[in-house]
Structures are given as structure tokens and as C-alpha cells.
Amino acid sequence: MARRRGFDVTRLPGFATIAILCFVLLYAPIVLLVIFSFNESVSVSEWQGLSLRWYRSALENEQVQAATVRSVVIASAASLIATAAAVGAALATTRTRPWRGQTLAFALVNQPLMVPEVVTAVALLFFFSMIKVATGYTGLWYLIVAHAAFCIPFAYLPVRARLQGMDLTLEQAAADLYATPWQVFRRVTLPQLWPGILAGAMLAFVISLDDVVITEFVKSAGQDTLPTYMLGQLRRAVTPEINAISTALLVVSVVLVMAFFFLSRPRT
């Protein structure tokens, strides 16, 4: 009797063609963007030879420099705050006995992933507008807090996954030896958790660095980040300088995502 084979999507007719078409549609525009970032021409569609002209132009552009520094400051601070909150939330949902409302807490932590980003942005706009009117403060902390709130679930998921994959034996042994909960966390849990924390922090950094919607709603005048600066330039005139900046952001994002992948993959 012939052995029945399980369902395999790769055996469906046309699977290879559809897969190749999807990859082409996804990556062909990115490849073209990178190629034309080295274009000598002012036109974004007419090739006139290899040149680093637009990379030099971007590096010498004071607005790009200011927006880049602002983006890095916001992303660094937001990722630190989001990761710290994510670690606490992950510990509360994995290293405690089941408690009433735990599922609700998990849903609330991951709310930014389930709600459209524009809804979160509008809610933050109204909330921070009231604070701005009451205090008169219009600094960068609004953007930092907004980015941190949005990035918490992105930091939470790898930290929680790391905790769930960790053996409880060492923590239980430390508790049996009269270590306090803080000592158990600092000397046993934290050293094992570091890869998950770093992975979550890098993912939160990338999400914050690339964010446009929340930044566009929350920022005050003169607080453009690199993505919102690029959006503003696209509304005025498109030049290969935008391609060069996009390529640089792409390289940074790819490097950080690769690091996140290697840090968060299971150890064999």
C-alpha cells in the first residue's frame, strides 16, 4: 500500500512562479534604489554613470546631519526605555504564577501590534497636545516617549521568547540557597537573558529609527527625523540624494536585523 504523503505547499502547481514573482516585486525596487543612489545624473530615472556625488551631498547637508543625529538620539533613548519596560513585562508574564488578568496584560503590552499605527499616532497627538498646552514644553521627550510606547512589544517578544526557552533549574537552585529575588535575577536570570535583551533593543531601535507615522503626528516644529525629512523632500523635489540616504538606512537596518536574528535564534 502506497504511503500517503502530507500536504506540501511547494508541490502546488505554479508555486515556484508565484514565489519568484513575489520576490521580484519585493526586491526589484530596492535593488533599483541602491543602483541609482550611485548615479551621476540629477535625474532619478536617467543613468549617466557611477558616482558618489549624492552620498557626499547627503554627508555635507546640514539638515540631513541634524535629522540623523536627532533620529539616533530618539531611537537610542526610546529603545532603552522600551527594552527596560519589556523586560519587566516579560518577567511578570513568565516568571510568576498565573494570575487573574494575565492574558489581558499580554494583550495590552502587544496593543501597538494589533491597532493600526495611525490610530496610536492620533491618540498620542491628542494626549501630548494637552500636556503641551498645560506645560508649554515642546522638547524631544514627547517623541522619545511616543516611540518607546510603540516599540515596547517589539522588544517584549524576543525577551519573552528567551525567558520561555530558559531552564528554571538554576533559578530554583539559587532560590533554594536563600538568594533574594533580586540576586536571582542579577546573577542567574540576567546573564542568560542578555541575548534576548540585546535582540529586543536592536529591534526596537530599528523600528524607532524608521518610524514616520507617529513621528509626523507627534513632532513639533524643527524636530524632523531622517524619515520625516525624506518625506518632506519627496513632496518638494526628488533627487538621487534621497536614494543615497535610503540606501544608508537600508544598510543600517539590514545589519541590525541580521544581528537580531543571530542573537535570538535558539542555541543548539
pLDDT in tens, 145-172: 999 999 999 999 889 888 888 877 888 8
Percentage of the chain modeled with pLDDT above 70: 95
Report pLDDT for 217. Answer: 92
User: Is the same domain home to 147 and 188?
Assistant: yes
pTM: 0.82
Q: Give yes or no for residue 126 having a pLDDT over 70.
A: yes
In a domain, 6, yes or no: no
Q: Give the count of domains, the chain.
A: 2
d(CA 255, CA 87): 23
Neighbours of 45 (CB within 10 A): 9
Cα–Cα distance for residue pair 85/75, rounded to 1 Å: 15
Residues 66 and 37 in one domain: no
Average pLDDT rounded to a whole number, residues 131-141: 88
Q: Indicate if the pLDDT at residue 1 is higher than 60.
A: no
Q: Which residue segment(s) compose the domain that 38 sits in?
A: 13-51
Domain annotation covers residue 31: yes
Q: How far apart are CA 61 and CA 119, in angstroms?
A: 34
20 and 130 part of one domain: no
Is residue 216 a contact partner of residue 121, using CB atoms and an 8 Å limit? Answer: yes
Q: Does residue 181 sit within a domain? A: yes
On whether both 26 and 106 belong to a single domain, the answer is no
Mark whether 27 and 158 lie in a shared domain.
Answer: no
- Claim to verify: residue 141 and residue 169 sit in the same structural domain: yes
For residue range 38-67, what is the model confidence (pLDDT) as tens digits?
888 887 677 888 888 888 888 888 888 899
How far is 76 from 253, CA to CA, in rounded Å?
A: 14
Is residue 239 in some structural domain? yes
